[in-house]
Amino acid sequence: MGDSAIGGGAVATTRSRKSHTPGANIAFAALPADPREVFSRIAVLSLPMVTRFRGITTREAMLVEGPAGWAEFSPFVEYAVPEASRWLAAALEHACTEPPPPQVDAVPVNGTIPACPPGSVAEVAARYSGVCTFKIKVAEHGLDSLAEDCARIEALRTAAPGAQVRLDANGRYTVAEARTALRTFSRFELDYIEQPVMDVEDLARVRADVDRAGLGIRIAADESIRKASDPLRVAALGAADVIIVKVQPLGGVRAALNVIGASGLPAVVSSALDTSVGLSAGVALAASLPASARPGEGIPACGLGTSALFRSDVADPPLRAAGGVLPVGRVTPAEERLSALAAAPDRVRWWTDRLQRCWDHLRTSPH
């Protein structure tokens, strides 16, 4: 590709440079018309999942190889071009430039306890060897789940004493329900609760109520953060104490670092149901979080252990936590996995067309 499209120096020198300009960005307007001039290889994959998640049992993803390595472009299929284009910006960055220098060589991940019967919690937790932070799904049926949610928390406390506990309500409470639930949850020592209510203004109301009542539970924004301007809005409204950030929706590692810095809030890096290639970009972001985004000690446990949700992943071995941590570094897909997981021809056509439309959007829209 033309070197002029890459900020902060030519591609060829980006790899060897020790220090990197954190703000280095791709000059989208200078990109060639055909993405194949930048990506030497493009693969469309269909990954079977262990269990239904986000309403799907198969995750489709496009992987692209650029001058710096492989990257992932996997906006969910229902996303329209403007939103999906941000995911492409992230893929371009990862395929064409090296991530900012990491502060650490491994990042911790959290275990996830689904809305399972409390009696199954110990068995699920045991799958996460070395993990010190767990996230428990709550509010599956709103307040009707409250007694079982508490039993699940207690079961985890017994199974993993000393582990840090987070809750995730996925926005399922009303403001009034959240008040009741959070009062109940306040007897547990929690790291935070993600998205007790869906609307960001409601989130601010709940957080103010938590403060007034002295409940001592931090509020994290997850679903409220889908694009670069969202963390700033969350911060401006005082809607959360912590933001959950994902590389692809925010447009790349550097864009994410910029919005995290501008929000002034602590950040926890998570995945958007990425393959191992996309997860490695999340690891790169977590490993380069500035001290202001991770008050306290070390990198907060990341939601990047999601390769376990795939029956088969693109890398061999997949990027899975060992001893509770993921290594920092690029991931290259295995050739036999690219063949075995190749999507059907009609889906390849659909994704190739989507890539071109998002590419054209990036080249022609002001950023």
Q: Residue 323 and residue 108: Cα distance in Å, rounded?
A: 9
Distance CA 323, CA 46 (A): 29
> 148, 220, 215: which is closest to 185 by C-alpha?
215
Q: Tokens 């071009």 — which residue?
A: 81
> Residue 167 or residue 348: which is nearer to Mg ion going by CB?
167
For residue 274, state whether it binds Mg ion (rule: CB under 5 A): no
Position among 60, 177, 222, 313 found at the interface with Mg ion (CB under 5 A): 222
The annotation places the binding site at: 168, 194, 222
Determine the angle formed by the axes of helices 253-263 and 230-237, rounding to 10 degrees: 10
Strand partners, 59: 47
Q: By beta-carbon distance, which residue lies closest to Mg ion?
A: 222
Nearest to Mg ion of 97, 263 (CB atom): 263
230 binds Mg ion (CB under 5 A): no
Binding residue count for Mg ion, defined by CB under 5 A: 3
Q: Is 227 a catalytic residue?
A: no
Distances (CA, A) of 179 to 171, 217, 248: 13, 11, 33
The minimum distance between CB 263 and Mg ion, in angstroms, equals: 17
- 168 neighbors 185 (Cβ within 8 angstroms): no
Residue 191 touches Mg ion, criterion: CB under 5 A: no
Which residue in 18, 135, 227, 246 is the catalytic one?
246
Q: Which stretch binds Mg ion (CB under 5 A): 32-40, 85-93, 187-195, 226-234?
A: 187-195
Return the number of the residue (85 or 224) whose C-beta is nearest Mg ion.
Answer: 224
Contact region with Mg ion (CB under 5 A), list: 15-23, 96-104, 152-160, 216-224: 216-224
Instruction: Return the number of the residue (194 or 313) whose C-beta is nearest Mg ion.
Output: 194
HSE toward the beta carbon, residue 33, CA cutoff 13 A = 0
Radius of gyration of the chain (CA): 20
Single out the segment in contact with Mg ion by CB under 5 A; choices: 175-183, 190-198, 201-209, 257-265. 190-198
Between CA 227 and CA 320 the distance in angstroms is: 27
SS3 annotation, 240-309: CCEEEEEHHHHCCHHHHHHHHHHHCCCEEEECCCCCHHHHHHHHHHHHCCCHHHCCCCCCCCEECCHHHH
DSSP 111: E
User: What is the footprint of Mg ion within residues 158-177 (CB under 5 A)?
Assistant: 168
Q: How far is the CB of 169 from Mg ion (least distance, A)?
A: 8
| Minimum CB–partner distance for residue 194 and Mg ion (Å) | 4
Q: With respect to Mg ion, which residue has the nearer C-beta, 93 or 222?
A: 222
Using the rule CB under 5 A, give the single segment among 50-58, 194-202, 203-211, 233-241 that binds Mg ion.
194-202
Per the annotation, the verdict on 246 as an active-site residue is yes
* CA distance linking residue 318 with residue 70, whole number of Å: 14
Rounded least distance, CB 196 to Mg ion, Å: 11
CB of 244 to Mg ion, least distance (A): 6
Smallest distance, Mg ion to C-beta of residue 223, A: 7
Could you tell me which residues are annotated as the binding site for Mg(2+)?
168, 194, 222
Task: Enumerate long-range contacts of 4-10, CB under 8 Å, 24 or more apart.
Answer: 4/30, 5/30, 5/31, 5/32, 5/38, 5/96, 6/96, 6/97, 8/97
By the criterion CB under 5 A, which residues form the site for Mg ion? 168, 194, 222
What is the set of active-site residues? 137, 246
